[in-house]
Chains A and B, each alone.
Chain A
Amino acid sequence: MAQMTMIQAINSALDIMLDIDPSVVILGEDVGYFGGVFRCTEGLQKKYGDHRVIDAPIAEGGIIGTAIGLGVNGLRPVAEIQFADYIYPGFDQVVSELARLRYRSDGTFYSPVTIRTPCGGGIRGGQTHSQSPEAIFTHISGLITVMPSNPFDAKGLLVSAIESNDPVIFFEPKRIYNGPFDGDPNNPSVPWSSHPLGEVPEAYYNVPLGKAALVETGHELTIISYGTIVHVAQAAAKLAGVSADIIDVRTLMPLDIDTIRQSVSKTGRCLVAHEATRFCGYGAELVATVQEECFWSLEAPIERVTGWDTPYPHAFEWQYFPGQKRLLAGIRKVMEAK
Chain B
Amino acid sequence: MSQKSRLHIPHAAARPGETPDFSYLALSPAGAVARPPVDSRMSDIEFLSNDLVRVLDENHAAQGPWNPGLDSSTLLEALRLMVLVRQYDDRMQRMQRQGKITFYVQSLGEEAVSIGGGLALRDSDMLFPAYRNQGLYILRNTGLVEMMSHCLSNTNDFCRGRQMPVFYQNAKNRVFTISGNLATQYPQAVGWAMAAAIKGEDAIAASWVGDGSTAEADFHYALTFAAVYQAPVILNVVNNQWAISTFQGVAGGERRSFAARGLGLGIPGVRVDGNDLLAVYAVTQWAAERARSGGGPTLIELVTYRGGAHSTSDDPTRYRPKDEWAAFPLGDPLHRLKGHLVQAGSWSDEQHLAMEEQMKQYVLDCWKKATTFGTMTEGPFLRVHEMFEDVFEHMPQHLQRQQAQLLELEGI
Q: Which residues of A contact B (CB under 8 A)?
A: 29-30, 32-34, 37, 50-51, 54-62, 85-86, 88-89, 124-129, 278-279, 308-311, 313-316, 319-320, 325-326, 329
In contact, B399 and A309 (Cβ under 8 angstroms)? yes
User: Chain A: interface secondary structure?
Assistant: loop
Shortest Cβ gap from A197 to chain B (Å)? 27
In contact, A311 and B391 (Cβ under 8 angstroms)? yes
The residue from A29, A57, A313 contacting B387, defined by CB atoms under 8 A apart = A313
The residue from A32, A51, A89, A279 contacting B217, defined by CB atoms under 8 A apart = A89
Give 12 pairs: A residue, B residue, CB < 8 Å, sorted on A: A30-B245, A30-B246, A34-B244, A37-B314, A50-B11, A51-B7, A55-B246, A85-B180, A89-B181, A308-B406, A315-B157, A319-B406
In contact, A37 and B163 (Cβ under 8 angstroms)? no
Q: A34-B318, A50-B11, A319-B384 are in contact. List 13 more A-B contacts (CB 8 A).
A: A33-B246, A33-B319, A51-B9, A60-B216, A62-B215, A88-B181, A126-B180, A128-B179, A279-B398, A309-B399, A310-B387, A315-B381, A319-B406
In contact, A34 and B103 (Cβ under 8 angstroms)? no
| Chain A CB within 8 A of B153 CB | yes
In contact, A314 and B161 (Cβ under 8 angstroms)? yes
Known: A57-B252, A58-B212. A310 touches B243 (CB 8 A): no
In contact, B162 and A127 (Cβ under 8 angstroms)? yes
| Chain A CB within 8 A of B80 CB | no
| Chain A CB within 8 A of B382 CB | yes
| Chain A CB within 8 A of B197 CB | no
Q: Which residue of B lies closest to A318 (CB)?
A: B384
| Chain B residues near A279 (CB-CB < 8 A) | 398
In contact, B9 and A54 (Cβ under 8 angstroms)? yes
In contact, A85 and B217 (Cβ under 8 angstroms)? no
In contact, A61 and B217 (Cβ under 8 angstroms)? yes
Interface centre among A59, A124, A129, A315, by most B CB within 10 Å? A315
Q: Which residues 217-270 of B sit at the A interface, judged by CB distance below 8 A?
A: 217-218, 243-246, 250-252
The residue from A58, A61, A311, A316 contacting B182, defined by CB atoms under 8 A apart = A58
User: Chain B: interface secondary structure?
Assistant: loop
The residue from B163, B217, B252 contacting A126, defined by CB atoms under 8 A apart = B163
A315, B387: Cα distance in complex, Å: 9
| Chain A residues near B399 (CB-CB < 8 A) | 308-310
In contact, A310 and B391 (Cβ under 8 angstroms)? yes
Interface centre among A50, A58, A129, by most B CB within 10 Å? A58
Count of residues in B whose CB is under 8 Å from the partner chain: 50
Shortest Cβ gap from A261 to chain B (Å)? 29
Q: Which residue of B lies closest to A315 (CB)?
A: B161
A314, B387: Cα distance in complex, Å: 10
| Chain A CB within 8 A of B15 CB | yes
| Chain A CB within 8 A of B22 CB | no
A55, B252: Cα distance in complex, Å: 12
| Chain B residues near A128 (CB-CB < 8 A) | 163-164, 179-181
A126, B181: Cα distance in complex, Å: 12
3 smallest A-B Cβ distances: which pairs? A315-B161, A128-B180, A126-B164
A326, B406: Cα distance in complex, Å: 9
| Chain A residues near B161 (CB-CB < 8 A) | 313-316
Shortest Cβ gap from B63 to chain A (Å)? 36
In contact, B103 and A124 (Cβ under 8 angstroms)? yes
A317, B189: Cα distance in complex, Å: 31
Q: Which residue of A lies closest to B243 (CB)?
A: A58
Q: Which residues 285-322 of B sit at the A interface, judged by CB distance below 8 A?
A: 313-314, 318-319
Shortest Cβ gap from B362 to chain A (Å)? 27
| Chain B residues near A278 (CB-CB < 8 A) | 402
| Chain A residues near B360 (CB-CB < 8 A) | none
| Chain A residues near B252 (CB-CB < 8 A) | 57
| Chain B residues near A325 (CB-CB < 8 A) | 409
In contact, A59 and B216 (Cβ under 8 angstroms)? yes
In contact, B387 and A58 (Cβ under 8 angstroms)? no
| Chain B residues near A61 (CB-CB < 8 A) | 217
